[in-house]
RNA sequence: GGCCCCUUCGUCUAGCGGUCUAGGACACCGGCCUUUCACGCCGGUAACACGGGUUCGAGUCCCGUAGGGGUCACCA
């Protein structure tokens, strides 16, 4: 049996769409499952500008996700080049062959003439089909049209009867009437070729065995089969995946509708969490790339590739009625096209988030450190590279934070462990609530004395000391713990109080209590 | 509009004629735990779009209807 070879063919737009990731993943899984090859081909037939630059984020996205390609940009391969813009001579040869075999013709019509025919058909209420009025099948005809100042494109000469049949690996038997097809242009007057032609030629040249792509391409399939037939090429197997839909809708997910999606509460939450992290980093938000529809978003915020992959895997595919989590190996082993759904699946930000939580919790402390580290370095809370002390402190924070840190960027929500006392920001509301009255201030001052005497200054001892202290006074723990928290961390919420104090150490703790007391004391005096 | 496709809890899905008074996950609701937040634990609400067939029997097969969607470029 011929080896399984699949491909993903991004056009270098600069972005990797979440739906694209899903398509790429399925192609990758299918190839890996069958021990075949996964090829990356760049569909830049139309791109005259900055392919390199636009390609970079896409390839980085692939690398980040761990979807390695066997052939394609950077790695090359036996069928190089893998850029369509560099394969024009192949397409030219194909066009000539199609012309010779009568599967295509030179057409000297002007665009506005086609447009007129199209409009006339619409007006008459009949389906449009080009009259072939400016079709030139002989040199004499061509010369005559050319003498009128016309230039020629090459069109497919589609059959007017019969049906195109093929078996779709996801959808089953498909049937399209040839008469429905248009005489599509495959080559422009300037000699450049169009996508469908290039696509078929390349799929053959690269020996692609399975074309796994989004269902948007389903209706393009007959014309591609026609081209393949005209070229006398074998037809690959086709599998058309349902598209990924908008959250809470059945419409196709688009990267152009950020504003609309932000009206969806769950989507908005996902976005705002990410925007918050970027803000902490002091980066400006580029709306072009920073949106939860694109993988760049997730990388920037510190999501785990495993979470993204596992989530999109289940968008249109399932193994059975209970398996939710798949390691890379498990994905490869269990993936099959037979279990791909036919109906679109809508993108659910909340579910994605839950996968992220799951995988984050599976990380060891060392792994979490690596996820969090770039954020700390960027914001300058640790050196580049970090010192051993900084790393140990961060690991202590990570340990104490537990599952509170859900993405790499979430570490930025804990400035209290990194900034100097004087730079600690206080949440005014929390400060007022917990230290607004003289009694609580008094209690805090008294408890500070206890802390000052405490040795060793670690979480268990602090806890014991505080519990004994409140017991002596016959008051609840809540009367003091919140005051200490806000005084030392500046906030009303955070990780475990006792661990927090231990990480910060006695000196910092006492200094911050003093600082907080001064702050509320000053606030109480009229100016 | 033509052609094509899709339709099980809010969402992702299991289900390939009887085992379905429809299973799981996420979300949601209630309770427990609790120093905040988060987690965790226990429990709960919630779906076969509709109408006809076929069949002893239909979520599962067939046909309609409705709804949703994709696609109709000298874009990819």
Residue A399 contacts strand B, CB under 7 A: no
Q: What is the pLDDT of residue A523?
A: 52
Residue A83 is given by DSSP the state B
DSSP sequence for A337-395: GGGB-SS-EE--HHHHHHHHHHHHHT--HHHHHHHHHHHHHHHTSS-SSPPHHHHHHHH
CA within 13 Å, CB half, A108: 19
- Strand B: which nucleotides have any atom within 7 A of a protein Cβ? 1-8, 10-15, 23-27, 35-39, 68-76
What is the DSSP code (8-state) at residue A103?
S
Q: Given A255, A257, A342, A467, which residue is catalytic?
A: A255
CA gap A168, A239 in Å, rounded: 5
User: Is any atom of strand B within 7 angstroms of residue A110's beta carbon?
Assistant: yes
In this prediction, residue A52 carries a pLDDT of 81
Q: What is the pLDDT of residue A527?
A: 35
pLDDT of A134 reads 96
A121 touches strand B (CB under 7 A): no
pLDDT, tens digit (0-9, with 9 covering 90-100), for A181-221: 999 999 999 999 999 999 999 999 999 999 999 999 999 99
Strand B interface, A 70-99, C-beta < 7 A: 84
* Nucleotide nearest the Cα atom of A322 (by C1'): B24
Q: List, for chain A, all residue ranges whose pLDDT scores fall below the cut of 70.
A: 47-50, 522-527
- Residues with Cβ within 8 Å of A355's Cβ and at least 6 positions away in sequence, in order, are A307, A308, A310, A311
What is the distance between the alpha carbons of residues A387 and A114, in angstroms, rounded to a whole number?
69
Are the C-beta atoms of A306 and A347 separated by less than 8 Å? no
Quick check: A174 CB within 7 A of strand B? yes
Where are the strands (E) in A47-193, listed by range? 104-107, 135-136, 153-156, 163-168, 172-177, 185-187
């Amino acid at each position: 049996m011929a080896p399984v070879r699949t491909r993903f063919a991004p056009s270098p737009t600069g972005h990797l769409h979440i739906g694209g990731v899903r398509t790429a993943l399925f192609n990758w899984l299918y190839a890996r499952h069958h021990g075949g090859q996964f090829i990356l081909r760049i569909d830049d037939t139309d791109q005259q500008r900055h392919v390199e630059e636009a390609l970079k984020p896409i390839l980085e996205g692939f690398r980040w996700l761990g979807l390695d390609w066997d052939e394609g940009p950077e790695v090359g391969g036996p069928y190089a080049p893998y850029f369509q813009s560099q394969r024009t001579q192949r397409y030219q040869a194909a066009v000539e062959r199609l012309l010779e075999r009568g599967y295509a013709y030179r057409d000297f019509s002007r665009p506005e003439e086609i447009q007129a025919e199209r409009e006339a058909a619409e007006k008459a209420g009949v389906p449009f089909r080009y009259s072939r009025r400016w079709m030139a099948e002989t040199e004499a005809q061509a010369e005559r049209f050319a003498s009128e100042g016309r230039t020629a494109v090459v069109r497919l000469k589609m059959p007017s009867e019969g049906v195109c049949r093929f078996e779709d690996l996801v959808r089953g038997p498909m049937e399209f009437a040839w008469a429905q097809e248009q005489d599509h242009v495959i080559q422009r007057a300037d000699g450049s070729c169009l996508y469908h032609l290039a696509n078929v030629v390349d799929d053959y040249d690269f020996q692609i065995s399975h074309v796994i792509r989004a269902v948007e391409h389903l209706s393009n399939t007959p014309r591609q089969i026609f081209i393949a037939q005209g070229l006398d090429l074998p037809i690959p197997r086709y599998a058309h995946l349902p598209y990924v839909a908008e959250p809470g809708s059945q419409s196709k997910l688009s990267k152009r509708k950020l504003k609309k999606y932000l009206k969806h509460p769950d989507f908005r939450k996902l976005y705002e969490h990410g925007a918050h992290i970027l803000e902490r980093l002091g980066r400006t938000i580029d709306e072009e790339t920073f949106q939860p529809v694109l993988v760049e978003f997730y990388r920037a915020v510190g999501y785990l590739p495993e979470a993204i992959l596992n989530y999109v895997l289940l968008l249109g595919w399932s193994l059975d009625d209970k398996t939710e989590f798949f390691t890379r190996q498990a994905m490869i082993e269990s993936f099959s096209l037979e279990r791909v759904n036919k109906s679109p699946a809508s993108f659910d930000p909340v579910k994605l988030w839950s996968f992220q939580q799951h995988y984050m919790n599976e990380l060891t402390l060392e792994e979490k450190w690596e996820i969090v580290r770039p954020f700390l370095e960027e914001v300058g809370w640790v050196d580049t590279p970090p010192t051993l002390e900084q790393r140990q402190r961060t690991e202590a924070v990570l340990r104490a934070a537990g599952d509170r840190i859900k993405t790499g960027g979430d570490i930025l929500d804990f400035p209290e462990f990194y900034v100097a006392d004087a730079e600690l920001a206080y949440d005014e509301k929390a400060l007022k609530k917990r230290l607004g009255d003289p009694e609580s201030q008094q209690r805090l001052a008294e408890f500070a004395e206890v802390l000052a005497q405490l040795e060793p200054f670690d979480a268990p001892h602090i806890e014991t000391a505080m519990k004994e202290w409140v017991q002596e006074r016959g008051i609840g723990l809540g009367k003091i713990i919140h005051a200490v928290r806000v005084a030392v961390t500046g906030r009303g919420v955070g990780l475990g109080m006792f661990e927090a104090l231990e990480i910060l150490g006695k000196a910092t703790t006492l200094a911050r209590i003093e600082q907080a007391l001064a702050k509320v004391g000053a606030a109480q005096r009229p100016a």
